[in-house]
Amino acid sequence: MSMTYKGKTALITGASSGLGAEFAEQLAAAGANLILVARREDRLLKLTNELGKKYGVKASHIAFDLSSPNSGEELEKLLAAKGFQVDILVNNAGFATNATLLNEDRNKVREEIQLNVGTLVDLTVGLTPQMVARNFGVIINVASTAAFQPVSNMAVYAATKSFVLSFTQAIWGELQNKNIKVLAICPGATESEFWEVAGMGSVSRKGFQTPKEVVSNALREVGRRNNNPYLVSGIKNRVLARSIKFMPTKMVIKMVGKMFEPKASGL
């Protein structure tokens, strides 16, 4: 990690566990001040206190639900009221639903799209001009290896991550000459609460990456002088993501869909 983060302020969404908590840990270790955002205030408070004391940085938290419309703009107003400026934006908050389309909960799907796509875009649009004005900024959007192919039984999730990947690459191009570093990190299977939230708590964790590995890879890549617009975390995941391109689409849809088939869908 060659970039200097000391004294900069990082806003991390979905920061109460998993990748979000690990981004907070590693950025604080590099000297960044923290603004941690998630719904679970008890966890946020504990993590904020721990990291502030451990690394001697300023650490704040905002308990906030980003899955509702206009939540990105409302969060920005809170930040402004508290006098915060954001130098590093980590759009990590997101979740998946593991169900066939016929069994999806419409309200849950709306929240999934809002959180994974709507709020991510809104925060990026809202905070980037401040970074450009200060001639420094880092934007890391958490995508997924699910972005590289359709995923039956997780159709909405995969589609949202495809959006995140495309969106991030586009703004990487737009901000190349603005001293703003942009990266979409694409983890594969990672040890986190993702699986429980998606209703897949019984899935085998063999071969999963750790949050530490994923975040280290992301910060190493974004710290490069001329970083790539996206990074698939892990050699095996990169090989799989590339190989998908050379397989017939129908085969890919059937193969991947089988991997995520709900245990008791009734369909």
- What is the band of 246 on the pLDDT scale with cuts at 50, 70, 90? confident
**Res 204 pLDDT > 80:** no
Does residue 2 lie within any of the structural domains?
A: no
Q: Which residues are marked as active site? A: 157, 161
Cβ-count burial of 266 within 10 angstroms (0-12 exposed, 13-18 middle, 19+ buried)?
Answer: exposed
For 82-111, what is the mean pLDDT?
A: 95
Structural domain boundaries, residue 230: 9-259
Q: Note whether 35 and 61 are within 8 A (CB).
A: yes
Q: In what order do the strands lie in the sheet with 137-142?
A: 59-63, 33-38, 9-13, 88-91, 137-142, 180-186, 230-232
Does residue 70 lie within any of the structural domains?
A: yes
Count the domains in the chain: 1
| Beta-bridge partners for 139 | 89, 182
- What is the band of 203 on the pLDDT scale with cuts at 50, 70, 90? low
- Position 266 scores a pLDDT of 32
Q: Note whether 121 and 73 are within 8 A (CB).
A: no
Does residue 52 lie within any of the structural domains?
A: yes
- What is the band of 159 on the pLDDT scale with cuts at 50, 70, 90? very high
Does residue 41 lie within any of the structural domains?
A: yes
For 89-111, what is the mean pLDDT?
A: 95
What's the pLDDT tens digit per position in 122-146? 999 999 999 999 999 999 999 999 9
What's the pLDDT tens digit per position in 19-37? 999 999 999 999 999 999 9
**Res 178 pLDDT > 60:** yes
Does residue 227 lie within any of the structural domains?
A: yes
Task: Report the distance separating Cα 89 and Cα 66, nearest Å.
Answer: 15
Does residue 126 lie within any of the structural domains?
A: yes
- What is the band of 263 on the pLDDT scale with cuts at 50, 70, 90? low
**Res 49 pLDDT > 50:** yes
- Position 109 scores a pLDDT of 96
Task: Report the distance separating Cα 164 and Cα 61, nearest Å.
Answer: 25
CATH number at residue 133: 3.40.50.720
Q: Which two tokens stand for residue 196?
A: 């429980």
Global pTM? Answer: 0.91
